[in-house]
Structure 1
């Protein structure tokens, strides 16, 4: 047995030295993992800016809610020339606040992109460095495991020491493998977050363009109002005459539409449309606005900002629709409020009945055909 005494003992010492070195490499790998961001101070600054942007958004949303309450108050009063001018002015202020909210949300998304981008680059670099270190350690560890299994028992001071040392080497290998998996999972998660933030930013930029268009529309409305002031010679009596003419034209249009619907005879196959009450349609109003409707129950009598329900409403029973029921639902929303589709579909047509001189009824309208047999206007 003497030929084995010198070499195995030296190998035992070198193995212990390697295990200490390997333990150090694990700690080094952990050091690569622990820092959250290579520039902690910058990360904190970005987070502080995000918090400031969010605080501005909260303040602006309160301002928007106040504008909406003011518009409700104006809408509840008798229609006058000055009242209409006030309504347009307040609507413009609301849209400006909406645009400010979108600008702040876009800035927040940009900051989040910057923070996530830095974290992804930092994490990827650490993964590369750690992987190389771990791979080298694993190769050496594999050599020891393959070459010294029997020698553990020949050189150890008893079976307990041999099994303890072998188990320690095995645990070190498992820890290294788990470290690689954890780092890769973290990189995947950060990449997903980065992609989601990019989508959010694209959505917000699109919304900003939409709000800018709404602001342009309000400016156009104000020019139309100025033309109206010119037509009325700034006299309330003239405005009331024009308003009455609009109301008569609207009633005539609705009667014509009702007569057309009555003459349209067809047999409806109930299997081609969703079951009644299945809830396939959502409210066609911006969800953010709908969320604030619960605070306006006193004004509308419901939590959905509805001014008229579907069917034989009190207004329909008064003869407004020549004995027919109200064939839709009406919402009380201010100008510039975002309108959405009640269900995904294809836009078949759009128009504006008010664009034709002397024709005042629906105003701007969009016809959407859905894939379940329904069409919404």
Structure 2
């Protein structure tokens, strides 16, 4: 009786095992999925975008100003186009055109900077995408093989369970239940257990490998999703890159076109100014000299001024100018003011010629006029505005033409005072020579960038050009 109850309990246990096995299989049959989120690329080009927006606004404003200037110029007709008012209006337009060219250049630089940034981001991300896709392909093949192995083992396992269930006396359950005695039962039980253990070990191995592959596939899927997101962004960046390139090409074409127009406007301005100053005898400089030539001279002067020492530091004036040959005489130092405001009391550089054709400040085209122009007949005396030492003499066919610079010493605040005399027809002094206040140092002319004979006079305080008007006295 007890043995029959034992058989029933064992039969129930085996049924539970079969059912559990079926549930286990259904669990393996389901795909495991995980929702992933990616932070994405957080770096933004706010500063570059803001710069582009600002430049676009500046360009828009300049276009409006240019339209207004063009309208103003069209209001002049006939002889009115030969007046100073028309020249000023034309120069104003030229100034706006110069500003617009600068904005266009800045837009090109900004677009190029952004394009370079995008290129740096695109290349490494593309390489990362290629690597991840290659890795994914390798792991996918491993996963497919394990899945095939699992399916084969599972099919065999199901067939064996099915055979156990339908084979009657040949089934494991029946074999156990039909045991003649406890010894045979235990023997058959050990056999069933061994087979079950083998199957269980196989299932655990497949389970382990399956989980490993699924885990790796999840990781790869996550990476692939991240790269796909990045690729979408890269597509947008590539489109943005193309946009920047088009901006560069468009601006370059626009610059070339505007430079032609600007050259024509400058030529007209210079021609009108030459005619106007000849009629009025109020000679000055042309307002549209090549900026590169201006910069070249400015650098030479800045280098020269940078080498000056105060009278307290020297026994003779020191300068980096290769043409300057200082005297060894100790009297050189006495020709320089040392911390005295008397150095600021300047006389007019062209005696008896006090009319001003161009004041210190800016032209209507935006370019700076760093001195005062005094029209005077060719050959007029040009004198030193204050005592000092000649620190340079230059003979150029552009910019200042034939010009002289004189160092006068320092004012009460220790600031170094230098004067400059330009566009002379001849120079009567040499570098290193001491001069007295009012001493003739040159003859006026129209060398360099000049519409006619005049003296261009500059005052330089500690390297900065200031308005001489406040320091000149007859």
TM-score (norm 1): 0.42
**Structure label with greater radius of gyration:** 2
Structure whose residues are more often helix by fraction: 1
Relative to total residues, which structure has the larger strand share, 1 or 2?
A: 2
Query: TM-score, structure 2 length as denominator?
Result: 0.34
